[in-house]
Structure 1
Amino acid sequence: MMQKTRIYTVFTSSGLQRENLIYKKYHPEQKILSNEEILQKIKEKYPGVEFLGSTVPENSVYAIGNIVNMKKDIDGILYFGSPPEELVSLDVPIIAVHLLWGRWQHSFYFYRNKKVLSHCIPIIPDRSERVFNSRFEKVADDIRLIQAISKMKGLRVLVVTDKPILGEYEPTYEQYKDEGWEEYQRRYISNLSELGVSLIVRPQSEMVERMKTADDAKAEEIARKWISEAAGIKGMNEIEIKKSAKLYLAMKEMMQVYKADAITTEGYTIFQYYKDGPIPSQGMPSSHFLTEGVVATSETLIDSLITQQFGLWITGSPGFSGDFIIDPDNN
């Protein structure tokens, strides 16, 4: 899953545009950024990204041929210039950078409804260093998005449910009423596959059996940790907390066995009315996973899991699982 993100880089010009060459005559002291310097500033922000291609201006026909041949092996395109329609139509994320004073560029709305994000970097740096650096930060933010998408390739999600594959709580009737449950599920899984995500479905009984045989001493240690770090305990006791700690160990063991990167289980009424007796609350195990940088959602909410996974990779910070009533009028 954690393969290196690969972005194909294309420069279509170098230095000042022809009609701007006179600028150097009257401002010989002014630095003109080279392609190498521009790319290096971006590389410094993302050492984990492999930038393919060259800083030498590349003919668009040649670039298109290279990218088409490498489409399966690249995660995005960094195009310094106006990407041609042949690239835009490839359905690969593109960051289009207008090198001001070096190239003409299409208007901002040219890429509306396309997988293209556009930016402007002047090859004559802004007088304000803060403003100039912020331009590179914006490009870096978009590279972070491409990284997050690329990390989805190979993501393995463990889904613990007796109602395969999407579980009890999703989708709702409003989601599948037009096409039916089976078609919705088929299309949903197909969409995940396009992202590179695979679902590993296991029955609740396996989790329950692993929970029963979980190490008591380890569960006790985890329960003590939860209690000591809590602001307080209300409506709960140590016995139930230890049961949830054993559930956490069972979930973690299953993730290791099935080489999963994220996990979602059923919860609430499904746990409460489980055929062999109530399953302990998964709220604390899920929250504990999040502190470890592992996305874990309840109610087999795969939509929420995928969203949280993107959020983790984009921000570097895990989300939080819980049901909260937000009442701004009385807060």
Structure 2
Amino acid sequence: MNTKLNLLFIIIFSVSITCNYATEKNSSLNKGTEKVGEYENTQIYTVFMSPGGHFGTGGAPESLTTNQELLLQIQTECNRIDFIVRDITNPAISIENVYHELDSLKEYIDGVLIIGELHGEYKLAFTGLPTIYVYNLFEWMNVPHKLFTTGEEEESILVGDTEYQKGKILTAELDRRNVCSSSVREKMFEDLIYKIKLIQTIRKLKESRILVVAPHQYIAQVDYQGDRQKTFPENYNSLYTNTLKDKLGVELVQVNPEEFYEMYKETSNKEAEKIAEKWIEEAQSVTAAKSEIIRTAKAYLAFEILRKKYNCNAVSTHMRSLTGSGKVNDRFWPGLGLECGFKTRGIQAICQNYPNILVTQLLGYFLTGRPSMLGDLMIDTRNSVAILTHCGAPINPYGENGNRVPYSITTHAESPLRDTQDPGSATGLHIEWPVGEPVTFWKVYVMHNKIGVFTGKTVDGHLLYKNLDDIMCRTKLIARIEAKPVQQHFSPDEYGIHRAATLGDLREKIKDLSILIGFDVMETDK
């Protein structure tokens, strides 16, 4: 927690509020340090509204998980999350003081956790922050679930000066009386912990800084390949950059291509050779020229120097020249270095400048620990499949502790010198995706306040298409899907032609996450 927030706590606590088991701790992250794997602690303002159950009617329960016991259980499961706790059952703490404190600290708080009977305090859930409301089983359920979900009560009998916008609210349930089976209680608790960690995911995203190195006039210019009668708005770059920062907290750090060219020249050939040898040694086969692999490794090192210089935790680039000369023999594609270099280290990176895709990949990594593939999306309705194709994909699609997939280093399919050993033939990456795996195709649409998603199961594309490896890009992820509705949703002018794909069925996680960030979900296969 930063110094300003600590000072605010000290001032407020000394005036009005105390809590014996508040757990505010300092974060170990220094703002000037490298942003990879280390993030500030997530701050969750936690309010216990009841002792854990209704004790008047029928008397006190035989067994009860107390507020303090529950807090300890939650803390044990939530590493690097600070719970700023206020217990309304403590006579020294009033709901008015809670409202006042929460309002004054809103800028520094990442989310709100409300546990127990609301007692009519609806507005506590509508702070605009990601919020989780927890219902204690066998308390009176005076909980406005419809209002939480929609922000509307069209036919309310009660009237008053209350207007609630659609909230960023998820709900959970706990059995504090311990009357359900242990397996049911465990599932309730696991669901709560999962939802708390979604707030941590949002916090990590808010801290993200994306290094952008690209030669194009507009951000994501190559993604929106739509109507030729239309153009980007003149202020699109600033509008997108500001919207991304305002809605999700993500910063774009734009670096001129000239700085990349200069850094490439200064990068160590010896170090690049060492990295290239490692990639070659671990590959199943290599048809690209070793000299081209070394050049890709050298470019990867240049990006890494720039990433550290600008304190970024992700890289978005569309560089295709090592010098800016325009000569074919200076052409390169960075994908091999991004997949075998950055992503194997937990740093998300893409070889085309599409921040919507990179934000999607960051969320996928924070949610699952798995990197994602960027690709051009094609829909084959006759075979009922989605085809995602590019000249690269993660070699570790199951994450850091999962199995890697075999890969081959090829020339790049877009190079005019492909399938030669000439300078400029560049490098591509071919992998075979595992078959029979659930997979999620998705994309965050920052300008639309939406996340688009559909899911499927991977299939062996070679059984569907002849000479598949020779068609277009080097790598294809092919999955059985509900193809017709996905095709009917496809709109290049609105949503671009690229998508991200992450192994696993993430649909429900994405829907929950969308609620907490205030985005709508488009399930494009429905």
Question: TM over 0.5, yes or no?
Answer: yes
Identify if the C-alpha distance between structure 1 residues 327 and 80 changes in structure 2 by more than 3 Å, giving closer, same or farther: closer
Partner of 2:71: 39
Give 1:90 deviation, angstroms.
2.5
Aligned to 1:27: none
- Alignment counterpart, residue 228 of structure 1, candidates 278, 281, 285: 281
1:298 maps onto 2:351 in alignment: yes
Distance 1:61 1:197 in 2: 33
- For 1:251, the equivalent position in structure 2 comes to 303
Counterpart selection for 1:216 from 269, 272, 278: 269
1:107-145 superposed Cα distances (whole Å, 9 cap, x missing partner): 543311420000111211244222211211111111111
Of the three residues 112, 122, 132, the one matched with 1:95 is 132
- Whether the aligned pair in 2 keeps the contact of 1:157 and 1:197 (CA below 8 Å) is yes
How many correspondences in the alignment? 319
How big is each residue's C-alpha offset from its partner over 1:250-308, in whole Å with a ceiling of 9 and x where there is no partner?
Answer: 110111121221111105xx559954433322111110201101010121111111111
- Inter-partner Cα distance in structure 2 for 1:327 and 1:49: 37
Q: Given that residues 153 and 196 in structure 1 are in contact (C-alpha distance below 8 angstroms), is that contact kept between their aligned partners in structure 2?
A: yes
What's the TM-score, normalizing by structure 1? 0.86
After TM superposition, give the deviation of residue 103 of structure 1 in Å: 4.4
CA spacing shift, 1:316–1:126, aligned 2, 3 Å = farther
Match of residue 201 from structure 2? 148
Counterpart-to-counterpart distance in 1, 2:96 and 2:223: 46
Sort the Cα spacing of 1:200 and 1:106 in 2 relative to 1 into closer, same or farther, 3 A. same
In 2, the alpha carbon distance for the partners of 1:100 and 1:257 equals: 52
Which position in structure 1 is the counterpart of 2:462? none
Contact 2:334 2:351 in 1 (8 A): yes
Measure, in 2, the Cα distance between the counterparts of 1:183 and 1:122: 53
Question: Residue 113 of structure 2 aligns with which residue?
Answer: 78
TM superposition outliers: structure 1 runs of 4+ over 6 Å: none
Give per-residue Cα distances to partners, 1:68-106, cap 9 Å, x unaligned.
111001000001134844334421000000011244342
| 1:115 paired residue among 162, 168, 177 | 168
Alpha-carbon offset, residue 52 of structure 1: 0.2
Write the distance in 2 (CA, Å) between the matches of 1:88 and 1:186. Answer: 33
What is the Cα deviation at residue 164 of structure 1?
5.1
Letter matched to residue 135 of structure 2: H
Equivalents in 1 of 2:60, 2:123: separation in Å?
34
- Partner of 2:99: helix, strand, or coil? helix
**Which secondary structure state, in structure 1, belongs to the residue aligned with residue 258 of structure 2?**
helix
Rounded Cα–Cα distance in structure 2 between residues aligned with 1:145 and 1:172? 33
Partner Cα separation in structure 2 for residue 88 and residue 232 of structure 1: 56
Contact kept, 8 Å, 1:164 with 1:201, in 2: the verdict is: no
Post-superposition CA distance 1:8-34 (Å, at most 9, x none): 00011114314444364xxxxx31111
One-letter amino acid matched to 1:186 = S
Q: Secondary structure at the match of 2:286?
A: coil
Q: How many angstroms apart in 2 are the aligned matches of 1:316 and 1:289?
A: 14
The answer (yes or no) to whether the contact 1:99–1:121 under 8 Å persists in 2 is yes
Which runs of 5 or more residues in structure 2 are unaligned? 1-34, 151-166, 376-389, 391-475, 482-526
Shift of 1:183: 4.4
CA distance in 1, matches of 2:143, 2:40: 34
Alignment of 1:314-329 (within 5 A): 314-321=367-374, 323=390, 324-326=476-478, 328=480
Q: Please tell me whether residue 52 in structure 1 is matched to residue 84 in structure 2.
A: yes
Looking at structure 1, the residues matched to 207 and 369 of structure 2 have their Cα atoms a distance apart, in angstroms, of 19
Say whether the 8 Å CA contact 2:113–2:131 is kept in structure 1.
Answer: yes
Alpha carbons 2:173, 2:188 under 8 Å: kept:
yes
Identify the range of structure 1 (60-69 vs 295-304) with the bigger mean alpha-carbon deviation: 60-69
Higher helix share: 1
Q: Please identify which structure carries the higher strand content.
A: 2
Q: Which region of structure 1 is more displaced relative to structure 2, 52-61 or 202-211?
A: 52-61
Alignment match, 1:260: 312
Query: Following superposition of structure 1 onto structure 2, how do residues 146-295 of structure 1 map, counting pairs within 5 Å?
Result: 146-163=199-216, 166-173=219-226, 180-194=232-246, 195-234=248-287, 236-267=288-319, 270-271=320-321, 275-277=325-327, 278-287=330-339, 288-295=341-348
For 2:99, the aligned partner's letter is: I
**8 Å contact kept, 2:264–2:322:** no
Cα drift, residue 208 of structure 1? 2.4
* Preserved contact between residue 159 and residue 200 of structure 1 (Cα < 8 Å): yes
Question: When the two structures are superposed, what TM-score results if normalisation uses the length of structure 2?
Answer: 0.56
Structure 1 88/12 Cα, relative in aligned 2: closer, same or farther at 3 Å? closer
Q: Residue 12 of structure 1 contacts residue 60 of structure 1 at CA under 8 Å; is this kept in 2?
A: no
Could you tell me which residue of structure 2 aligns to residue 309 of structure 1?
362
Partner-residue secondary structure (3-state), 1:22: coil
* Residue type at the aligned position of 2:108: D
1:143-188, CA deviations, whole angstroms, 9 ceiling, x for partnerless residues? 11111111233322110012356153245557x95x9523443332
Q: Quick one: distance in 2 between partners of 1:20 and 1:316?
A: 47
Task: Letter of the 1:74 partner, please give it.
Answer: I
Q: Distance in 1 between matches of 2:179 and 2:322?
A: 62
| Distance change in 2, residues 1:274/1:319 (3 Å) | same
Cα distance in structure 2, aligned partners of 1:126 and 1:184: 57
Q: Which stretch shows the higher mean deviation, 87-96 or 161-170? A: 161-170
Amino acid paired to 1:50:
D
The residue number in structure 1 matching 2:47 is 10
Q: 1: CA distance between counterparts of 2:141 and 2:48?
A: 13
- Say whether the 8 Å CA contact 2:48–2:114 is kept in structure 1: yes
Moved more, 192-201 or 41-50: 192-201
CA RMSD in angstroms comes to: 2.7
Paired residues of 1:6 and 1:50 also in contact (CA < 8 A): yes
